[in-house]
Structure 1
Amino acid sequence: MGAWGHKNFENDDAGDWVYDLEKSKDKSVIHQALDTVLNNQEYLEAPDCCVALAAAEVVYAGKTSDHSRVSEDVSAWLNRKHGFIKKKAITFDSEDVSKSIQAVGKILDSSELKELWEESDDFQSWVDLQIELIANLEERA
């Protein structure tokens, strides 16, 4: 895992995913990231977890207009008007929030990403960040 910090956009996998998000015109990239974790009945691999955590952060930012936890590129994507005919901002609903909460919880429960963070000095900071994300999302559910 190429990470330079414990925050959810401070890793290579999230950075690569943001590129895909920037090219998208709807929430399908976000849904795919969350569904990959939620539908996985096997071992949750770190790259999938990093992407799902970034997607959950985007849902939170989109639901609240608090862009402090996302990158400038994500903030620009959230503020961009999308759609072919009727250009409007992408909105997030309670299902998006619920999926985000479930995905973050599943990653915290058991995943390769959690195991990797357990081996670092920043493990508790990473856990606290995810718990805060869940709490923030639950306030919007």
Structure 2
Amino acid sequence: MGAWGVKTFENDSALDWISELEDDKDLSIVVYKFSEFNHEYQDSPAETLDSDLSSEVLAAVEIVAVLRGAPGGDIPPAIERWLKKKSYDRNLVSVFNEMMKSDAVDDETKLQWKAFSKEEKWKYIVSALADDAVKLIEIILSQSELKDLWEESDKYEDWLSEVNYLKSRCGG
């Protein structure tokens, strides 16, 4: 077994995912990771979700917490410095621009989106990601292999405390 600790970035899967972000410096991978997790969940709602995917989602949630101004101290320093300078991400806004064209988005929301300033779009995105992050954490805590693995360890309560702290930093 490689790196394995109760904090988000103390395991190999999260570290591998964050290195992708370090290389690309593209926040849209947060949306894609959330989407991948949601698809897995919707495709097999009764199944236990993969521990690696759950760890990667928790790493993506940590990014959202930093964007909300609530870092947890566990994020690699170079990423935290980079994120603190982020007041806007063109790639992430482009993803949301495409999402707003979807038939799944109601007309009122589409009109609001078009009327938003650059700063308002960014606040909307961070808020939407935080809402999604809380929901994904709840799924991880209810039916993930990661939770099952931690339940079998003597550090389960410590891990649970860390995940709940992350959830709180996203508004949950």
TM bucket (normalised to shorter chain) is 0.7 to 0.9
Residues 33 and 57 of structure 2 are in contact (CA less than 8 Å); yes or no, is this contact kept in structure 1?
A: yes
1:83 positional shift: 5.6
Root-mean-square deviation over aligned CA pairs = 2.3
State the alpha-carbon separation in 2 of the partners of residues 23 and 34 from structure 1. 19
Equivalent positions of 1:67-106 (< 5 A) are: 68-79=73-84, 93-106=126-139
TM-score (structure 2 length as normaliser): 0.68
Percent identity (aligned): 31
State the alpha-carbon separation in 2 of the partners of residues 99 and 20 from structure 1. 21
Residues 61 and 133 of structure 2 are in contact (CA less than 8 Å); yes or no, is this contact kept in structure 1?
A: yes
Residue in 2 that maps onto 1:23: 23
TM-score (structure 1 length as normaliser): 0.82
For the pair shown, which has the larger CA radius of gyration, 1 or 2?
2
1:76 positional shift: 3.4
1:80 positional shift: 5.3
> 1:29 corresponds to which letter in structure 2?
I
Structure 1: stretches of 5+ with no match in the other structure: 85-89
1:13 positional shift: 0.5
Residues 141 and 147 of structure 2 are in contact (CA less than 8 Å); yes or no, is this contact kept in structure 1?
A: yes
Structure 2: stretches of 5+ with no match in the other structure: 92-121
Higher relative contact order (CA 8 A, sep 6+): 2
> How many residue pairs align between the two structures?
134
1:4 positional shift: 3.1
Given the alignment, which residue of 129, 138, 141 partners 2:171?
138
